[in-house]
């Protein structure tokens, strides 16, 4: 009797324990139901560039859990693109939260693509994280049929085109131009090396008489200062070359004066030409324009200098007798 009573008591305790556990799960919705993720499309097929609506949903989230990261999109897979994301909706039913968000997606690659949706993250009060994943969702992207369009033109067969390669013509023309350029440059440098002979005026009589006669002719002509002093300078250099064999057409005025001073050991001879030669150079290079009075004075000084120089040269050419 006692043994049978004890067995009944044990059976009753087990029944009560099972009932208690069941009531506990029934009273705590967060433990009775598991959190679920869901993704649905409003259409399974689209054509290239068309848009479809994707609804993402997390349901049955109890108190004590918080959403720290909603579903994301793996941007490394670029067959399907997100066009727009609407605001997230939150629904609270019997202390269980549900999050819903609508996305608009599209694709420009034909084929059947798996949507690259990443999982959502929940955190409980103890800080433990839980990832809510969804099953794979596929979208069929179909090519656009444009064969019935009025402006549609199908791809034609490849046409044979006659191709002309102008490479060798271009090379030939370039070579010809190079040859012509070389010939022109060679002729140019050869002509530069050839010195044009200086035209010497024909002198009749003594160089002094010729020079004085040329000066009188210049005085009688109506010339500009540039022309007058240019001709006067030419007459003077021709005289010095003919009378004393000086290289007047190869040397500057300064070099010519130094040579005259060394040859005749006379500052008077060199000095009589120096200032007038420098002034004629200034007029020649448009640095100075003398007046009529200076023009006449300079001409007279050159005449006297020529006579003095002619006398010195004649004296130097006479050999002393023993």
Whether residues 124 and 212 fall in one domain: no
- Strand 138-142 and strand 45-47: pairing? parallel
Contact, 305 vs 211, CB < 8 A? Answer: no
The domain boundary, picked from 118, 142, 166, lies at: 142
Q: Give the mean model confidence (pLDDT) for residues 44-67.
A: 84
Task: Look at residue 226 and tell me if it is in a domain.
Answer: yes
Query: pLDDT at position 1, please?
Result: 47
Whether residues 134 and 53 fall in one domain: yes
99 vs 182 pLDDT, higher one = 182
Contact, 112 vs 138, CB < 8 A? Answer: yes
The domain boundary, picked from 142, 176, 199, lies at: 142
Query: What is the pTM (predicted TM-score) of this model?
Result: 0.37
Whether residues 128 and 214 fall in one domain: no
Query: pLDDT at position 7, please?
Result: 52
Contact, 285 vs 215, CB < 8 A? Answer: no
Distance separating alpha carbons of residues 122 and 94, to the nearest angstrom: 19
> For residue 31, what pLDDT band results from cuts at 50, 70 and 90?
very low
Whether residues 52 and 138 fall in one domain: yes
Distance separating alpha carbons of residues 244 and 250, to the nearest angstrom: 15
Whether residues 131 and 211 fall in one domain: no
Task: Look at residue 170 and tell me if it is in a domain.
Answer: no
**Beta bridge partners of residue 45, listed in sequence order:** 140
Q: Give the mean model confidence (pLDDT) for residues 273-300.
A: 82
Contact, 99 vs 88, CB < 8 A? Answer: yes
The domain boundary, picked from 142, 175, 195, lies at: 142
CATH code of the domain containing 91: 2.60.40.740
What is the domain count for the chain?
A: 2
Whether residues 37 and 137 fall in one domain: yes
Whether residues 34 and 136 fall in one domain: yes
Range of the domain at 282: 207-313
Task: Look at residue 197 and tell me if it is in a domain.
Answer: no
Task: Look at residue 176 and tell me if it is in a domain.
Answer: no
Q: Residue 225: count other Cβ atoms within 10 Å of its Cβ.
A: 16
Whether residues 301 and 212 fall in one domain: yes
> For residue 263, what pLDDT band results from cuts at 50, 70 and 90?
confident
pLDDT 10s digits, 107-121: 888 888 888 888 788
Q: What is the mean pLDDT of the chain?
A: 78
Task: Look at residue 18 and tell me if it is in a domain.
Answer: no
> For residue 30, what pLDDT band results from cuts at 50, 70 and 90?
very low
pLDDT 10s digits, 183-201: 999 988 887 766 555 555 5
Query: pLDDT at position 161, please?
Result: 77
254 vs 32 pLDDT, higher one = 254
Distance separating alpha carbons of residues 236 and 280, to the nearest angstrom: 11
Query: pLDDT at position 19, please?
Result: 59
Task: Look at residue 148 and tell me if it is in a domain.
Answer: no
Query: pLDDT at position 257, please?
Result: 77
CB-side neighbour CA atoms (13 Å) of 23? 6
Task: Look at residue 130 and tell me if it is in a domain.
Answer: yes
Task: Look at residue 2 and tell me if it is in a domain.
Answer: no
């Amino acid at each position: 009797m006692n043994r049978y009573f004890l067995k009944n008591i044990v059976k009753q305790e087990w029944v009560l324990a099972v009932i208690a556990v069941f009531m506990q799960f029934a009273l705590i919705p967060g433990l009775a139901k598991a959190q679920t993720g869901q993704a649905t499309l409003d259409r399974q097929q689209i054509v290239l560039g068309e848009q479809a609506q994707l609804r993402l949903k997390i349901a049955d989230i109890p108190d004590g859990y918080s959403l720290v990261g909603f579903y994301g999109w793996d941007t490394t897979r670029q067959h399907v693109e997100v066009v727009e994301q609407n605001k997230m909706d939150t629904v609270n039913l019997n202390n269980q939260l549900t999050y819903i968000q609508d996305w608009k997606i599209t694709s420009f690659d034909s084929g059947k693509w798996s949507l690259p949706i990443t999982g959502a993250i929940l955190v409980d009060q103890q800080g433990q994280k839980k990832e809510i994943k969804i099953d794979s969702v596929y979208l069929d992207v179909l090519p656009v049929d444009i064969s019935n369009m009025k402006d549609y033109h199908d791809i034609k067969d490849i046409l044979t085109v006659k191709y002309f390669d102008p490479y060798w013509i271009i090379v030939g023309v370039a070579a010809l131009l190079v040859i012509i350029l070389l010939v022109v440059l060679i002729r140019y440098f050869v002509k530069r090396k050839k010195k044009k002979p200086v035209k010497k005026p024909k002198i009749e009589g003594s160089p002094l008489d010729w020079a004085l006669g040329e000066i009188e002719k210049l005085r009688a002509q109506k010339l500009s200062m540039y022309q007058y002093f240019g001709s006067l300078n030419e007459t003077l250099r021709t005289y010095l070359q003919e009378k004393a064999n000086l290289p007047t057409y190869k040397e500057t005025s300064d070099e010519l004066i130094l040579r005259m001073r060394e040859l005749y050991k006379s500052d008077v001879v060199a000095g009589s030409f120096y200032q007038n030669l420098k002034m004629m150079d200034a007029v020649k290079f448009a640095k100075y324009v003398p007046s009529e009075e200076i023009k006449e004075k300079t001409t007279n000084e050159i005449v006297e200098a020529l006579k003095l120089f002619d006398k010195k040269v004649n004296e130097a050419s006479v050999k002393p007798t023993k």
